[in-house]
């Protein structure tokens, strides 16, 4: 499968990405750009976008980028720094870039931004690659 096919398969079959309306805008080997619009269902008790939603967005971009080569990539760890709150109605993008990839372990950096470029969160994810291939059947 090509990166675009893998991304489409993940977009359609990841239930959280689907529920939140995440859209893969761009994908290539080791790279993904994902979009999400903050709506009512994503707010925490303080009325701003929940940290778990921002993490989910970054994590999905990381998942698409790390699975883009065709081998199943499992997330083993992730770190996130929240820099600014995201508000209802804002459109966010998560851009995942590969920092390093060896046979078994990959490291990806994801920046979540608002439309004006303001950083909402910085995420770093580590993946473990299986020999098993991604398969949509």
Q: List residues binding its own copies (CB under 8 A).
A: 9-10, 12-16, 19, 40-46, 50-53, 55-57, 59-60, 63, 72, 74-84, 99-100, 102, 104-105, 107, 109, 111, 119, 122, 124, 126, 128
Q: Nearest distance from residue 69's CB to its own copies, in Å?
A: 15
Structure token pair of residue 32: 């993904």
Distance, in Å, from the CA atom of 110 to the CA atom of 123, rounded to the nearest integer, reads: 5
To its own copies, the closest distance from the beta carbon of 2 in angstroms equals 16
**End-to-end C-alpha distance for the chain, whole angstroms:** 12
Q: For 7, phi and psi rounded to 5 degrees?
A: -60, -40
Nearer to its own copies, 28 or 84 (CB): 84
Read off the tokens for 50.
């929940």
Compare residues 25 and 107 and give the one whose CB is closer to its own copies. Answer: 107
């Amino acid at each position: 499968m090509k990166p675009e096919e893998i991304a489409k398969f993940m977009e359609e079959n990841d239930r959280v990405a689907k529920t939140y309306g995440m859209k893969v805008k761009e994908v290539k080997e080791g790279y993904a750009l994902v979009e999400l619009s903050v709506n009512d269902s994503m707010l925490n008790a303080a009325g701003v976008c929940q940290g778990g939603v921002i993490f989910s967005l970054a994590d999905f971009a990381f998942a698409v980028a790390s699975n883009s080569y065709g081998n199943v990539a499992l997330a083993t760890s992730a770190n996130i720094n929240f820099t600014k709150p995201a508000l209802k109605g804002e459109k966010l993008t998560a851009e995942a870039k590969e920092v390093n990839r060896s046979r078994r372990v990959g490291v990806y950096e994801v920046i979540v931004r608002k439309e004006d470029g303001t950083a909402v969160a910085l995420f770093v994810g580590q993946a473990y690659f299986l020999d098993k291939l991604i398969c949509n059947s």
